[in-house]
Amino acid sequence: MNMMRTAVLIAVLTALFMGVGYLVGGQSGMLIALLFAAGMNVFTYWNADRMVLSMYGAREVNEATAPRYYATVRELAARAGLPMPKVYIIDSPQPNAFATGRNPQNAAVAASTGLLQALTAEEVAGVMAHELAHVKHHDTLTMTITATIAGAISMLANFAFFFGGHRDERSPLGAFGAIAAALLAPIAAMMVQMAVSRTREYSADRTGAEICGNPRALASALAKIAGAAHQIPNAAAEANPATAHLFIINPLSGQRMDNLFSTHPATENRIAALMELDRDMNRRGSAPAGRGVGLPGGFGSRPAAASAAPRRGPWG
């Protein structure tokens, strides 16, 4: 099913890309867009993860350079039955995280310095378990391809606005077609991102909570990240809004039109779903005894327990 959904998504985005090309340059523009989209799909499959990590200046860490963070990801990956992903840190004060990679064997997870500083140990484990859930569900390929092609659609739309439609024999609708492409294509791309991201976030929340064994910790993390994300700017995300749906919480400030259509479900609804899952796990007795026991760095059972003790800076 994931392979089918990925194929459908690529087809929809490619068709949208071709449609913009047609409005800008008629049949020749559509053919050029098709060839460009085909090449971009192949390139994206093999290289999109590196592109996204490069956009955010992510640096790879290991057990020597970030022992607690790395050990947490390693333990959670083992719980999830996943190969150990590459682990990255983003130098950003905004607390946030994302996962990328074409499959679980070539996956990477990245957390910001702001996240590692602001959250408790249990909350960090909940966030990274959420990202590993995306890896487990094979969401990372779909989400990364969506980010790349949606960004290309937006760039083509901007080109159409400034340069398209000047020669009516090329564009079937002339200047009107170029303006329509410039206005409607980015909105259509954002709507595709919304359709991809919203249902997958709920699913990743649930699976991530089951991996770490503590829905409350993930719910607490979501509340903290959402509270800070719109107050602390993320310059790289603002410069690359098509990647917003990769993050656990929308990193955009909301001060631009990019945030008109949110790529994420309402945080309050996600928290409510996690709290209901916590109640269900307790009723069924399916929550692991001593929640989080075995995770590195003294991970306890509740976020409050960890926050009561003094904490010492980032996890590096």
Does the active-site annotation cover 210? no
Q: Is 245 annotated as a binding residue?
A: no
Q: Is 166 annotated as a binding residue?
A: no
- Alpha-carbon dihedral sign for residues 203, 206, 207, 212: positive
- Check whether 81 has a pLDDT greater than 90: yes
* Mean model confidence pLDDT for the chain: 79
- Check whether 131 has a pLDDT greater than 50: yes
Which of the following is catalytic: 131, 169, 268, 276? 131
- DSSP conformation letters of 163-202: HTTSSTTTSTTHHHHHHHHHHHHHHHHHHHHHHHHHHHHH
Q: Say which DSSP state 111 is in.
A: E
Tens-place pLDDT, residues 206-243:
999 999 999 999 999 999 999 998 899 999 998 887 78
Which residue type, as a one-letter code, is found at position 219? A
Per-residue model confidence (pLDDT) at position 87: 98
Model pTM score: 0.77
- Check whether 102 has a pLDDT greater than 70: yes
The residue with greater pLDDT, 42 or 114, is 114
With contact defined as beta carbons under 8 Å apart, do 116 and 97 qualify? no
Q: Is 138 annotated as a binding residue?
A: no
